[in-house]
Copies of this chain bind each other. A is one copy, B any other.
């Protein structure tokens, strides 16, 4: 194991002191051009690499941020992380990844681990699984920037970057209404999470605004899986009044639903329209592309990173910033009735 090269090694080599080496390396004005040059040369000769740990300990700034997501291997979250990394790496920050697996206990564990690691801030998609906010308070008390993305909680002093789920759901539902669908069901996910509650409410509002009624038995909750879509459709098909469209809060549920509808011999979009949410890549890859609402995960990540940078660079002034991005509806074949297909051009991403 080769000895680690420190500024002392450079100092010894040049018979000067570590302080001077430090000054030379940091473009401190209090150093002669000659020694600066000499130091820089020997530094690269010895292949010196500054120890960020020492710097971090000294300065109290680690240049690391923690990012907490339910799981990293989903298109949405990995894209958000990409946005964050794209924005933060050029600023000298490193991104430490933590997953909660949708578990409140894990969230607490992760936050503690990140605080121990002395991160300069935490960007997270809030699980909302725990009823109390103690673990978040630890962050806030330390005056560390805390930024929620996608899933937030309304906590004083905590910034957030979300999309307008309500509007996304409203637009999606409205498009179904405009297609002539009369009985629009909603496939929802756990509505204790704000995002799903908002999508539900956007759906409701769209119906009411267009003189339609909200039917309790048209609201089916399931997991965000293909299986969830399948069982939801089975439930809907047992009703006296069978719906002729669904707005699903999840693309996976929408896909599961489409499969089950096809299995039952129901024609999409002719007899039944389907719209999902998230604009997962596969929605556009299908032979029957699925209408969906894009959440701009990359932009969300970038924006969250920018909000973090703003806060970290203005430590003294406590700013809470709540950015709400606009979603975009991609109208595709699964919700475009043949009769309308020429009047309204399908929107492909």
> What is the interface of chain A, defined by CB distance below 8 A to chain B?
1-2, 4, 47, 49-54, 56-57, 62, 64, 71-75, 77-79, 81-82, 85-86, 89, 94-99, 112-113, 115-118, 138, 141-143, 255, 262, 281-282, 285-288, 298, 315
Contact = CB atoms under 8 A, between A and B. Distances in A.
A74 B73 CA distance: 8
A73 B64 contact: no
Given A51-B118, A53-B118, A73-B78, 11 more contacts: A53-B57, A64-B117, A73-B298, A85-B97, A85-B98, A94-B113, A94-B117, A281-B282, A285-B285, A285-B286, A287-B287
A229 to B, nearest CB: 12
B99 A97 contact: no
B52 A54 contact: no
Contacts of A97: 81, 85, 94-97
Contacts of A86: 99
Q: How many copies does the complex hold?
A: 2
A4 B50 CA distance: 25
Closest 5 CB pairs of A and B: A78-B78, A282-B282, A73-B82, A73-B78, A73-B79
A262 B81 CA distance: 36
A4 B251 CA distance: 45
A71 B82 contact: yes
A64 B118 CA distance: 13
Nearest to A134: B47
Contacts of A98: 85, 89, 94
